[in-house]
A and B are shown apart, each in its own frame.
Chain A
Amino acid sequence: MSARRSTRRALAAAAALVVAATGCGTFPKDSEGTLDRVRGGTLVVGVSEHEPWTSVGPGDEVSGSEAALVEGFAESLGAEIEWEVGPESILADEVKRGQVDIVIGGLTSVSPWKSDISLTRPYTKVKSEDGKQQKMVMGVPKGENAFQVALERYLAEQEGEIR
């Protein structure tokens, strides 16, 4: 039957596409090349203060558990960090416009900024005061999938999820 043959041909084409896609270097790629730009360059990190994840000192020096994680990530890429302190709403918008690469500040998987920025897969889970489980995430630009995977991989390694 011709329909069956065309189906088989289509499946073969799909298989070829998969092979081609895996064959040609890194997968996934960024749509704007964020990872390539950051590597050996500058990582712009947006920080909104949210103890104990992030805290901002009087001289705008940033600390906290998420700040430490991001510092480690920047180091793994050989990048310098440029901190950008501000409220979540403004940082989310800056991520969307590509001015900030990562936003941290105790974001959870139910963050209202979900439609503007991409939330990483949860790197850890904590119990909040009212006993609900919260999944901690960071925010990155949408479509920068190589960058997102690099960050997620680093976070998973730090949390001992993968080696």
Chain B
Amino acid sequence: MTSNSQTAAGSGHDALPDKQSEIMRKAIRLEWISIAIVAAVITMVGLVMGQSQAMRVAWVEDILALLPPIAFLVATRVIRRGPSRDHPYGHHRAIGVGHLVSAVALFAMGALLLVDSAIGLLMVDKPPIGMTVLFGHAIWAGWPMVAAMLVAVPPMVVLGRMKLKLSEELHDKVLFADADMLKADWMTGLATVVGVLGIGMGLWWADAAAAIAVSASIVKDGVTNVRAAVTGLTDARAKTHDDKGPHPLTVEVEEKAREVPWVKEARARVRDEGHVFHVEMFVVPLLGMDPTPAQIVELRTTLEDLDWKVHDVVVAVVDELRPEQVPAD
């Protein structure tokens, strides 16, 4: 005796509300700016890079920093398409796919650099940094490297913080991963500066050690993000944008449903489709108070009005809550 209400994903519903659309536009603009700045940094660091392993690792990390913005821009384009017969759930999951793609790239690159740097250290590969001529003056080539890193850090940090704020408002995990990576970038920059200065002080291992520290942080970023992306894609309970805990809405929808007079018990399965949630609400009516279709539709609308993120709600009226279908806490 299940009765499904019609799916909620109609016209208008698929678009984000005005406030979120505005934030989305801001985020898209920010990502384009981000790509431009990162490209400039890549060029600058590439020009002065030389043979320092730490510089090379930092440079690759800067290139990797392009991935999340690109994944974000592609995903936002894809999710504009509404649901269709072939894609009944819509295209919001593109966010999750983008997240996974950039996370795997992050992890693979980090692991590669980690191994490379460790081999350099074990093989006692001493990085040579010679002289360069700048405007007719001879200077040690390490100085332009240090300068390039110090110039690159502040814009990355600022961009990271701006994106972090937007990612929370948009419930966008790609944007969050991106912000997180950029925020970690100042550590990369600093470690690289320490490595290059270490070479200058005759401590050949400082460079490789800095490179190892930086690539280890890339690997950590990669693992965290792969885990988060996989969790999302395998229909785990919807989490907050930073994956720190269950999303409060997963509890709120159940509480809201229980407030309805004819509802005896209510439990939901809430999954994260990327930006928006898909809610399957199982309700047991009180004895002798079987709901009419209108009452079921009303419940659905109530839930959808709770938050813009509650996007697609299906209400199922059942005679009991089976744990194998809707597990309890």
Q: Which A positions have Cβ atoms within 8 angstroms of B?
A: 1, 3-4, 7, 10-11, 13-14, 17-18, 21, 27-31, 33, 118, 120-121, 140-146, 148-149, 152-153, 156, 161-163
Contact = CB atoms under 8 A, between A and B. Distances in A.
A28 B157 contact: no
Nearest to B146: A18
Given A28-B142, A145-B200, A146-B202, 13 more contacts: A4-B161, A10-B187, A11-B186, A14-B190, A17-B193, A17-B194, A17-B197, A18-B193, A118-B51, A145-B130, A145-B199, A153-B131, A161-B136
A27 B200 contact: yes
Contact of B202 (A11, A30, A148): A30
Contact of B133 (A7, A30, A146, A156): A156
Interface of B: 51, 125-133, 136-138, 140, 142, 146, 150, 153-154, 157, 161, 183, 186-187, 190, 193-194, 197, 199-204
B130 A118 contact: yes
A120 B51 CA distance: 12
Contact of A153 (B136, B138, B157, B204): B138
Given A3-B161, A27-B140, A142 B200 contact: no
Given A10-B186, A162-B138, A121 B204 contact: no
A152 B200 contact: no
A143 B200 contact: no
Contact of B128 (A4, A21, A143, A156): A143
B6 to A, nearest CB: 46
Contact of A142 (B128, B137, B146, B161): B128
Contacts of B161: 1, 3-4
Contacts, number: 101
The 10 closest A-B pairs by CB, nearest first: A143-B126, A118-B128, A29-B202, A28-B200, A152-B131, A142-B126, A31-B204, A143-B204, A149-B131, A148-B130
A111 to B, nearest CB: 13
A121 B132 contact: yes
B186 to A, nearest CB: 6
A120 B199 CA distance: 16
A28 B203 contact: no
A28 B146 contact: no
A142 B127 contact: yes
Contacts of B199: 28, 143, 145
Nearest to B198: A21
A10 B146 CA distance: 14
A14 B193 contact: yes
7 contacts: A11-B153, A28-B129, A28-B140, A31-B126, A31-B204, A149-B138, A161-B133
B137 A145 contact: no
The winner among B125, B154, B186, B201 for most chain A CB atoms within 10 A is: B201
B194 to A, nearest CB: 7
Contacts of A1: 161
B128 A148 contact: yes
Contacts of A27: 140, 142, 200-201
A11 B127 CA distance: 25
B195 to A, nearest CB: 11
